[in-house]
Amino acid sequence: AMIESGRPCLDIAQQLHAVEKAIAQAKRTLIQDHLDHCLEETVGALPREQRQSIDEFKSITKYL
């Protein structure tokens, strides 16, 4: 709609950037939620030394 209405390119680029950021954040939230619930449910309670690898994995996925 912005293109069709002849809005300036800078306005369109800013809106596209905002949409890209929102989608990336939604993806991160979805992945974190899945890990927090599904992975935890599957793995269950583990001793602290075995949990470390899972906790590190969950932390590193924040950079996706």
Cβ within 8 Å of residue 8, ≥6 positions away: none
| pLDDT at res. 48 | 80
* Six-digit token string for 61: 């996925």
* Six-digit token string for 45: 């309670």
54 three-state secondary structure? helix
HEC-encoded secondary structure of 6-56: CCCHHHHHHHHHHHHHHHHHHHHHHHHHHHHHHHHHHHCCCCHHHHHHHHH
* pLDDT per residue as tens digits for the range 16-47: 999 999 999 999 889 888 888 887 788 777 88
